[in-house]
Amino acid sequence: MALSKGALLGILILVIVVIVGAALLMIPPAPTPTTTPTATTPAVTTPTVTTPAVSEVKIGVVLPLSGRHAETGADLKRGVEFALEKINAAGGIKNLGGAKLVVVWGDSAGDSATGAAEAERLIKEEKVVALMGAYQSSVTKTASEVAESYKVPFLNPDSTSPVLTERGYTWFFRTTAHDGTFAEQHVEFINYLNSTYGGLKTVAIINEDTEWGASTAKVWKELFSAAGYRIVAEVSYHAATVTSLDSEVERLKAANPDVLLIAAYANDGILLVRTMKAKNFAPKVALAQDAGFIDPAYVQQIGKDGYYFMSREVFNWDLLEKIPELKKVNDEYRAKYGVNLNGNSARDYTGVWVLYWAIEEAAKVASPTDLEAFRKAIRDALAKMDVPPERIIMPWGGIKFDSKGQNILARGIVVQMSPTDGKYHTVYPREVATVDIIFPFPSWEKR
């Protein structure tokens, strides 16, 4: 049946209305302002909006997830995962339209060559925008060499060999303080004990012999000698193969030092303490350089034998009493994992946030689709970073890198394992201490 001219005109108008309506529905909504959350505080507004270009951004994290340091690696991994969970729950990378920040793991197995190979795999095959890791200074050294050669930012939150930031690298950044800083604080602490209690004149050093332990011992010797203390023994061992420290402890005991300085990882730290007990070796002060002595595996296994030992730390649970804003973060972490944040997990948690903040800044000037430009933008953002202390959970003055890539606002604390509850408590600096120092280290028979 033929349609009238009026009917045809009506149908034509209807078709035009449908087409125009459909076109209007396809126009995307106007973008909304973006915000950048902090590690400890509510989100704050950032000035730039970037059109989404990717659904996710990958960072590579190299850790000892197997081998002798696997338990430590698991601890560090929890800190990384917890930070990622909070960042993505808060909306992801705002300046990339909410792209998720994801991690691709690399397992160093505690070996420097394997760590370097994993770093290269993450860069070339996984196309990560930046790398993070790698706990052991010897592994961080080789993995970051690879990153430097490929011009990929490397954020190190947990390695403390001073030489890592003395290589003239331009893509390497370290958030934690290094052993030179900590050694200076050790001298300051022993000076404080001397002024308070007196009787500390001689020092002995025992250290594992890889990059971290050797460099720590070297700095200790230089600084304590300069401060007027006499070095009466220097003993080293190879942590990867050591099964007995009998001869090493006998040498230390024969030297009869007032202060014993210890650079050990978890397993060899346990072996050292048990050997000291077996040999009845008890200097007035036993002070460790973090690492194994604050490792959860050490704390769990050493039991009462670990009482009265002191260690340098970068974070401790009782700081929550001094820094109230930390409580919420730690409560959430403990609810999820059943343990408190410690120096390892807290540093890697903070490291992820630092990298995230740099990525947000990089997204204002580059896109992850241009990987080379985006990596450079992240590097530039790290170099310019200036984070105030209230945005981080660490007891630092904030985060600001010098020309070598070292965070000049990082610092340490000293903790002592208490016989009252078997936990480490902060004892120095005194302004953040929560208990009195137990001095001297009691003999094994009087415990």
- Distance of alpha carbon 121 from alpha carbon 279, whole angstroms: 47
Question: For position 10, what pLDDT does the model report?
Answer: 53
- Distance of alpha carbon 183 from alpha carbon 412, whole angstroms: 10
- Distance of alpha carbon 378 from alpha carbon 158, whole angstroms: 20
- Distance of alpha carbon 169 from alpha carbon 159, whole angstroms: 16
Question: For position 19, what pLDDT does the model report?
Answer: 47
- Distance of alpha carbon 423 from alpha carbon 397, whole angstroms: 26
Question: What residue spans of 205-362 are helical by DSSP H?
Answer: 211-226, 246-255, 266-278, 296-302, 326-337, 343-362
In the predicted model, residues of the chain with pLDDT beneath 70 are 1-52, 324-325
CB burial of residue 291 (10 Å; 0-12, 13-18, 19+): buried
Taking only the tens place, the pLDDT of each residue in 82-104 is: 999 999 999 999 999 999 999 99
Q: How far apart are the first and last CA of the chain?
A: 109
- Distance of alpha carbon 435 from alpha carbon 419, whole angstroms: 12
Let me know: does 184 contact 226? Beta carbons within 8 Å: no
Q: Which two tokens stand for residue 263?
A: 């650079």
DSSP designation for 32: P
Question: For position 39, what pLDDT does the model report?
Answer: 57
Within 303-446, strands assigned E span: 310-313, 386-387, 399-400, 413-417, 424-428
Q: Which two tokens stand for residue 412?
A: 């340490």
| Cβ count near 210 (within 10 Å) | 22
DSSP designation for 64: -
Q: Distance of alpha carbon 268 from its chain centroid, rounded?
A: 22
Question: For position 6, what pLDDT does the model report?
Answer: 52
Task: Please say whether the dihedral angle defined by the alpha carbons of residues 428, 434, 435 and 441, taken in this order, is positive or negative.
Answer: negative
Element (H, E) at 234: strand 230-237
| Cβ count near 338 (within 10 Å) | 7
Question: For position 20, what pLDDT does the model report?
Answer: 44
Element (H, E) at 7: helix 5-26
Let me know: does 208 contact 237? Beta carbons within 8 Å: yes
Question: For position 315, what pLDDT does the model report?
Answer: 83
Q: Look-up: residue for tokens 């050292």? A: 272
Q: Which two tokens stand for residue 299?
A: 């704390």
Q: Find all residues with CB under 8 Å of 258, minimum gap 6, and list them.
A: 199, 200, 201, 202, 203, 283, 284, 285
